[in-house]
Structure 1
Amino acid sequence: MRGLFKRTAPAGAPDTAALGTDALALRVPSGTMVPHACIGLACGKGGATRRVEHGARLAAGDSKSAYCFHPGPYSIELTPFAAAPEIGLQLSFVVDDPDPRVAQQRFDLYLASEGGEGVSLAAFALAVDSALQRELAQGNLELPPCTTLDEWNLFRAGLNQLLYQRFGVTVEDCLPVDLGDRVDYAQLLLARAVDVRAKSAVSAPAPSVPALTDAQALRRLFLELPGVTSALRLVALPPGQALFRQHQALLQRLDGVALLFATMPSLELAAPGIALDVASRAARERHSAGAVLALDEAWSLAARFAHAPAASWFDDADRIVANLEHHGAGRRASEHA
């Protein structure tokens, strides 16, 4: 009769053996037992999250979704410059223990907003690569040839803050690596030739992160804009009325943008019972995608709050908020696009 009362996983539960190796997180059904060395996360419909320790049963209740994740450590390889794929970085990172100073951990928000059916290590590496390449291309991070120790330390500090603000992970180590023996240059040149014939940019684009659906984009904006606003609200400003007023104006505009996206119309409907035409639906999707790009830039900007004087990033903040306002207004007004 031994094993009569053995607990079994709920029907349809995913195999959690990949956690900590090939997967950071997996979506699981309510009632799943949190595996050893892992952490459970119940995500509410409004974005609230609750962690559950290993060995306990993850009862999601009225929550929208539930996840199990392994804190790591993990190791990934990055290509900071798309046009120079032989230059690589070996990155080790972990998901830290909860910070008691904040109401919600950034990694928990990342899972609630972007977790989907789970986060594989390969997909996460692609997202990190895309974020890093964008920051280097825009000059927000610098990794020059023959980097000095001071330049490397400055880059590392910026990279650490970027990955914490954008994904909620902490970098443990980062080392340069030569990936030249793994690059298929013939295939790379062929792909670039195709790009040129298609009148694309000659330089290689950022890694191709899968496009979000309109619903996924709106969910990200709904859940993450309050987090961006909170990060901006906590910025320590130097004395002076001018910066204070600019800061307050940005906060008010971000609050307006968050409310705008929280009350967005459905993708399919022009009015209750009236279907939206195809061209207008495409316009709504285009504006949602543009707003998410601005949201990613906002998180990247938040990573610079602690290391750069406020006067140096206010123009960027104004541009990002203006893009969010533009895409929010465009999506709402796209009924007759």
Structure 2
Amino acid sequence: MLNLFTRPFRQPQPDLAGLGAGFIALPLTKGCTVPAGCFAVLANREGHTRRLSEGARAAILEGESAWCVHPGPYQCELLPFAAAPEIGLRVAFAIDTPDPRETQQRFDLYLASEGEAQVALGGFVASLEAALQRELAQGNLELPPCTTFEEWNAFRTGFNQLLYTRFGVMVDDCVPVDLGASRDMAALLSARLALQPVPAAALSPKQEAFDAAQEDAKALRRLFLELPGLMCGWRLAILPGDCAAFRHHQELLRRLDLVSLSVGTMPALELAAPGQMLPGAEQLRRARHSRRAAAALDEAWALLARMKLSDAAMVPLLLEEADRIVANLECDCAARREVAA
């Protein structure tokens, strides 16, 4: 007679094919062992994260999500200017090792707030590229033609800090490359025209192709989990030297704290009042404001990267930029709470 109690139970290892190549992170199941050369990130519903090193058994608690992460290195090609697809940057990067000075690693927060079940390398690189293009378009980073060594070093410093602050990755190498010979310009232009968004004002609620519930939930989760870490970063990264700047800085943090409170008490997307459904057009409007607030959050992380590299002379300009970003967050979060436009 077979005695089941004497047989050791072995949890089958999850399928991690492509990890470290096409995927940065893949889901990990309970009881599995973290493979060699990888680490695991576990996050609960509140966004608290913890790491497990290689060889550890994944003791996943109820309500936790777990990823097996390969730190790299990875290599990709980024387009710094969307209008110039022949100009590229060949970038080698890796996921940062744990910093004992931080209570939560930035890449772990990225997984908890933005990570899907699988984090594909292509999607992650697209996020890196979008962050780079936005900073160049706004003039916060500069990469002029015939860049000098001093200009290149300044760009590299800002670029490295941007990716570390926003995504928790370390840039190992970055060199300019000519992609003209490897890109089909006609196909790129045709694809860009096909993907060119139509202004939302020109679309009816039925024509607008976006899942309001999904986009709203993703944006609000990001705001709920990332705003506390952002406030902590702003509080430590900039130290105003005079009383007026100090009061301005404290007022910005107070307003940002109220935004965080507003996000934590945000009403459900589909409800105008308890038991009263909101029309579909108003749900779309609410979701658009959620997405705009998430875009302002991206700008806030990029501003934090600049704060860490700035000197005292830049404090007034940084505070003005912070004022604009906080005002956008306040406006969009308030509009998200409104029942009607």
Q: Shared fold by TM > 0.5?
A: yes
Alpha-carbon distance in structure 1 between the residues aligned to 2:198 and 2:45? 42
Q: Is 2:340 aligned against 1:336? A: yes
Contact 1:41/1:52 (<8 A) preserved:
yes
Structure 1 residue 7, shift from structure 2 partner:
3.1
Aligned residue number for residue 178 of structure 1: 178
Q: Secondary structure at the match of 1:158?
A: helix
Aligned CA distance change for structure 1 residues 35 and 103 (closer, same or farther; 3 Å): same
Mean Cα deviation higher: 183-192 or 168-177: 183-192
Aligned residue number for residue 207 of structure 1: none
Contact 2:24/2:69 (<8 A) preserved:
yes
Aligned residue number for residue 203 of structure 1: none
Alpha-carbon distance in structure 2 between the residues aligned to 1:237 and 1:255? 18
Question: Which amino acid in the other structure matches residue 9 of structure 1?
Answer: P
Question: Which amino acid in the other structure matches residue 91 of structure 1?
Answer: V
Question: Which amino acid in the other structure matches residue 155 of structure 2?
Answer: F
Question: Which amino acid in the other structure matches residue 276 of structure 1?
Answer: L
Aligned residue number for residue 320 of structure 1: 325
Aligned residue number for residue 41 of structure 2: 41
Question: Which amino acid in the other structure matches residue 326 of structure 1?
Answer: C
> After superposition, where does 1:21-170 map in structure 2 within 5 Å?
21-170=21-170
Question: Which amino acid in the other structure matches residue 12 of structure 2?
Answer: A
Question: Which amino acid in the other structure matches residue 325 of structure 1?
Answer: E
Q: Tell me which of 9, 25, 29 is aligned to 2:12.
A: 9
Alpha-carbon distance in structure 1 between the residues aligned to 2:239 and 2:196? 47
Structure 1 residue 198, shift from structure 2 partner:
6.9
Q: Secondary structure at the match of 1:217?
A: helix
Structure 1 residue 6, shift from structure 2 partner:
7.6
Structure 1 residue 147, shift from structure 2 partner:
0.4
Q: Secondary structure at the match of 1:303?
A: helix
Aligned CA distance change for structure 1 residues 190 and 24 (closer, same or farther; 3 Å): closer
Contact 2:34/2:56 (<8 A) preserved:
yes
Aligned length: 321
Aligned CA distance change for structure 1 residues 272 and 29 (closer, same or farther; 3 Å): farther
Q: Secondary structure at the match of 1:173?
A: strand
Structure 1 residue 64, shift from structure 2 partner:
3.2
Alpha-carbon distance in structure 1 between the residues aligned to 2:329 and 2:290? 9
Q: Tell me which of 224, 234, 258 is aligned to 1:256.
A: 258
Contact 1:27/1:116 (<8 A) preserved:
no
Alpha-carbon distance in structure 2 between the residues aligned to 1:142 and 1:188? 25
Aligned residue number for residue 297 of structure 1: 299
Structure 1 residue 32, shift from structure 2 partner:
2.8
Aligned CA distance change for structure 1 residues 292 and 197 (closer, same or farther; 3 Å): closer
Q: Tell me which of 232, 240, 243 is aligned to 2:242.
A: 240
Q: Secondary structure at the match of 2:232?
A: helix
Alpha-carbon distance in structure 1 between the residues aligned to 2:317 and 2:308? 12
Mean Cα deviation higher: 298-307 or 29-38: 29-38
Percent identity over the alignment? 55
Aligned residue number for residue 208 of structure 2: none
Q: Secondary structure at the match of 1:257?
A: helix
Aligned CA distance change for structure 1 residues 196 and 20 (closer, same or farther; 3 Å): closer
Q: Secondary structure at the match of 1:107?
A: helix
Alpha-carbon distance in structure 2 between the residues aligned to 1:53 and 1:261? 34
Aligned CA distance change for structure 1 residues 236 and 138 (closer, same or farther; 3 Å): closer
Structure 1 residue 21, shift from structure 2 partner:
1.2
Q: Deviations over 1:134-172 (max 9, x none)?
A: 100000000000000000000000000000111010111
Aligned CA distance change for structure 1 residues 167 and 199 (closer, same or farther; 3 Å): closer
Question: Which amino acid in the other structure matches residue 302 of structure 1?
Answer: L
Aligned CA distance change for structure 1 residues 243 and 221 (closer, same or farther; 3 Å): same
Contact 2:43/2:50 (<8 A) preserved:
yes
Aligned residue number for residue 4 of structure 2: none
Q: Is 2:280 aligned against 1:278? A: yes
Contact 2:11/2:31 (<8 A) preserved:
no
Aligned residue number for residue 205 of structure 2: none
Mean Cα deviation higher: 154-163 or 15-24: 15-24
Task: Show structure 1 runs of 5+ residues with no match.
Answer: 201-209
Task: Show structure 2 runs of 5+ residues with no match.
Answer: 1-6, 201-210
Contact 1:16/1:35 (<8 A) preserved:
no
Contact 1:254/1:321 (<8 A) preserved:
yes
Alpha-carbon distance in structure 2 between the residues aligned to 1:255 and 1:69? 32
